[in-house]
Amino acid sequence: MKTQKRKKENNLGYSWDTKILIFLYREFKFMERGARKFSPTYKEALKENLQLVKDKFISYSLDIVSEKNSPYKDNGSNENGEWASLFRRLEKEDLLAEAIAEVAYIRLFHKEPTEEEIEKYAAHLRYYFRHSEIHHEYKLTKRNYVKDIFEEIKPTYDKLMSILQRKGNVKEIEKEEIEELYKFLKEEDNDFDIRTVILEDFFKSKEGSILSEEAKIEIALKLGALDKSCLNYYGEDGNLVKCQMQSPKQSLK
């Protein structure tokens, strides 16, 4: 028996492309497990030509990702059982990475990929299979969400981190920036993703790590409620200009 040559590993790095690729694999793997008991055509799929198996899997998978025919809608159908058997056949033949790579490419770019493009994506998926240390990068967490949009929110992140490190002491000339910051958080951070990550990072910093548990809880609650009553404004001469004493009910609404 000829030893199969190990296919080249390629880690494309964490990007939107690779996120879609890994997301599809994880979704398909979850669906395959759920549909496994509905596989009356499993033996039939094993007998079919491999190229036909691959083509059928890609065609059906594209229907799934376009929500035309989702296995979630009817987990007992024969089609779902057939799809699950195709998945397992490709997995057994070490062709699953190539098939999912093609589905991911078509979903991303809406065109058929070349063999080189399929191999590039497939190599990354194989890298994911063999390297458990990178799996955490693709989990649906608040930090990974913030990581995805970090370039967009970096000014907000830096400004808020600066305010926390200065214990809420800000210059009078920063008022307009503060208003924009709070407006952004109110409108764009409904799930507290950005605030959660910033607080985690602040509490790990030199200034945040020395705080008591009570102080950490107070800061987390005030930031979560967008309560500006703790801000102290200072003029250019360093003297206190205004200390807001509004109650939480009077904070930004």
Mean pLDDT per 10-residue interval, the chain, length 253 residues: 48 76 89 71 67 91 71 53 86 93 92 92 90 83 86 93 92 91 93 94 95 94 90 81 48 36
* Whether residue 188 is found in the same domain as residue 245: yes
* Whether residue 239 is found in the same domain as residue 190: yes
Quick count: other Cβ atoms within 10 Å of Cβ 198?
Answer: 22
Nearest to 153 by CA among 143, 140, 165: 143
pLDDT at 156: 93
How many structural domains compose the chain?
2
pLDDT at 9: 57
* Whether residue 85 is found in the same domain as residue 39: yes
* Whether residue 108 is found in the same domain as residue 150: no
pLDDT at 20: 85
> 88-92, long-range: CB within 8 Å, 24+ apart, which pairs?
88/32, 88/42, 88/45, 89/45, 89/46, 89/48, 89/50, 89/53, 90/53, 90/54, 90/57
Report if residue 6 sits inside a domain. Answer: no
Provide the domain limits for residue 191.
Answer: 144-250
Report if residue 194 sits inside a domain. Answer: yes
Give the domain-ending residue among 122, 138, 154: 138
pLDDT at 42: 56
Residue with tokens 């397992």: 88
Give the domain-ending residue among 113, 138, 163: 138
Report if residue 7 sits inside a domain. Answer: no
Share in percent of the chain as helix, strand, coil (round to 5) = 65, 5, 30
Residue with tokens 């999912």: 100
Report if residue 158 sits inside a domain. Answer: yes
